[in-house]
């Protein structure tokens, strides 16, 4: 526990991209900060939770 949004994610916020294609553009979603980020790592630089790299809902 102890994860929390510190507002740092704002600096890593991804460019605005039309609906649904953010993941394809390499952006990752932090579920805690509720924001898409353009970062190379797998964790949010803000709150350190693992980032989502794929859209949810598609089960293969
Ligand atoms: Zn944050
Ligand atoms: Zn975060």
Residue 56: left if φ>0, alpha if ψ -120 to 50, beta else—which one? Answer: beta
- Ligand that comes closest to the CA of residue 48: 2
pLDDT, tens only, 2-31? 789 999 999 999 998 887 689 888 999 999
47 alpha carbon to ligand 1 midpoint, in Å?
Answer: 6
Confidence (pTM): 0.80
pLDDT, tens only, 27-52? 999 999 999 999 999 999 999 999 99
- Predicted local confidence at residue 55, as pLDDT: 77
11 alpha carbon to ligand 1 midpoint, in Å?
Answer: 9
- 3-class secondary-structure state, position 23: helix
13 alpha carbon to ligand 1 midpoint, in Å?
Answer: 10
- Ligand that comes closest to the CA of residue 8: 1
């Amino acid at each position: 526990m102890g994860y929390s949004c510190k507002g740092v994610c704002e600096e890593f916020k991804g460019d605005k991209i039309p609906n649904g294609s953010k993941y394809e553009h390499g952006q990752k979603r932090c579920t805690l900060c509720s924001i898409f980020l353009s970062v190379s790592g797998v964790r949010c630089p803000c709150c350190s939770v693992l980032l989502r790299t794929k859209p949810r809902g598609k089960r293969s």
